[in-house]
Amino acid sequence: MSISLTILGCHSATPRTFAYPTSQFLSINNEHFLIDCGEGTQVQLRKHKVKFSKISRIFISHLHGDHYFGLVGLISTFSLYQRQTELHIYGPKGIKEITELQLKLGKSFLSYDLVFHELGSKKSELIFESDKVSVFTIPLNHRVYTNGYLFKEKIGERKLNMAAVGKIKDIDTCDYQNLKNGKDFILENGTVIKNEKLTSNPPPPKSYAFCSDTSFYPKIVPLIKDVDLLYHESTFLESDAKLATKTKHSTASEASTIAQQAQVNQLILGHFSSRYTDESLFLKEALNQFENVVLAKEGLVISI
Point out the residues that are catalytic.
66
Alpha carbon separation from 74 to 13, 34, 43, 53, 77 (Å, rounded):
19, 11, 10, 10, 5
Enumerate the β-bridge partners of residue 148. 138
Chain centroid to Cα 16, Å, comes to 25
Instruction: List Cβ neighbours of 116 (8 Å cut-off, separation of 6 or more).
Output: 88, 89, 91, 95, 96, 99
DSSP string, 4-21: EEEEEE-B-SS-BTTB-B
Distance CA 168, CA 198 (A): 10
DSSP string, 217-240: -GGGGGGSTT-SEEEEE--B-GGG
Distance CA 185, CA 223 (A): 38
The neighbour count for residue 66, using CB atoms within 10 Å, is 22
The neighbour count for residue 8, using CB atoms within 10 Å, is 30
